[in-house]
Amino acid sequence: MCMVSKEYLIEILKENKVFEQGEFTLASGKKSNYYVNMKRAITEPEILSTIAKLINEKIDDDTDKIAGPALGAVPIATAVSLESKKPLLMIRKEKKGYGTSKLIEGDLNEGDKVILVEDVTTTGGSLLKAINAIVDNGGVVQKAFVVVDREEGAMETFANEGITLEPLISVSEFFE
């Protein structure tokens, strides 16, 4: 059993070729010469487990729920939920038009303290939508964690909203 650390996470992400170089269009519409393939990372049990342990070490005892926006963050949120023994919330991109037509799956109670997790942030737009969904439904967002921050504005976006965004890794650390 190796020591769980940021350095170890970077090492296993490199081994699994999570960072790809080339020409890519990101979710934000921006062009980039590299891509962080977190789908590759979150389908590897060792990486997922390492991410969950690193985030769990930073969660306050009074946290009530762990939340993640679909799709990329759901496996991460699930792993953190299992590691922390705290219930899971899954946040849809949009309400479905059938069944319960909920935006949030899981039981969010008024005043619940929620930790949000995300796989990658660029500007932070999609994570902000998830945060707003929690707040609009009575939850209190304590903090947001992201596995990889691309350092393209997300930290500033969150600071302006008064929410702490804590990356496990910044892109610059990966390329050091």
68 is in an annotated binding site: no
46 is in an annotated binding site: no
CA dist 148 and 12 (Å) reads 13
123 is in an annotated binding site: yes
Does the domain at residues 6-174 carry the CATH identifier 3.40.50.2020?
Answer: yes
Q: Write the DSSP string, 80-114.
A: HHHHHT--EEEE-SS--SSTT--SEES-PPTT-EE
pLDDT tens per residue, the chain (176 residues)?
456 899 999 999 999 999 988 999 987 788 999 999 998 999 999 999 999 999 999 999 999 999 999 988 999 999 999 999 999 999 998 876 666 668 899 999 999 999 999 999 988 888 999 999 999 999 999 999 999 999 999 999 999 888 999 999 999 998 87
Ordered by start, the domain boundaries in the chain are 6-174
106 is in an annotated binding site: no
121 is in an annotated binding site: yes
124 is in an annotated binding site: yes
- For Cα atoms 34, 20, 68, give the angle at the middle one, nearest 5 degrees: 85
93 is in an annotated binding site: yes
40 is in an annotated binding site: no
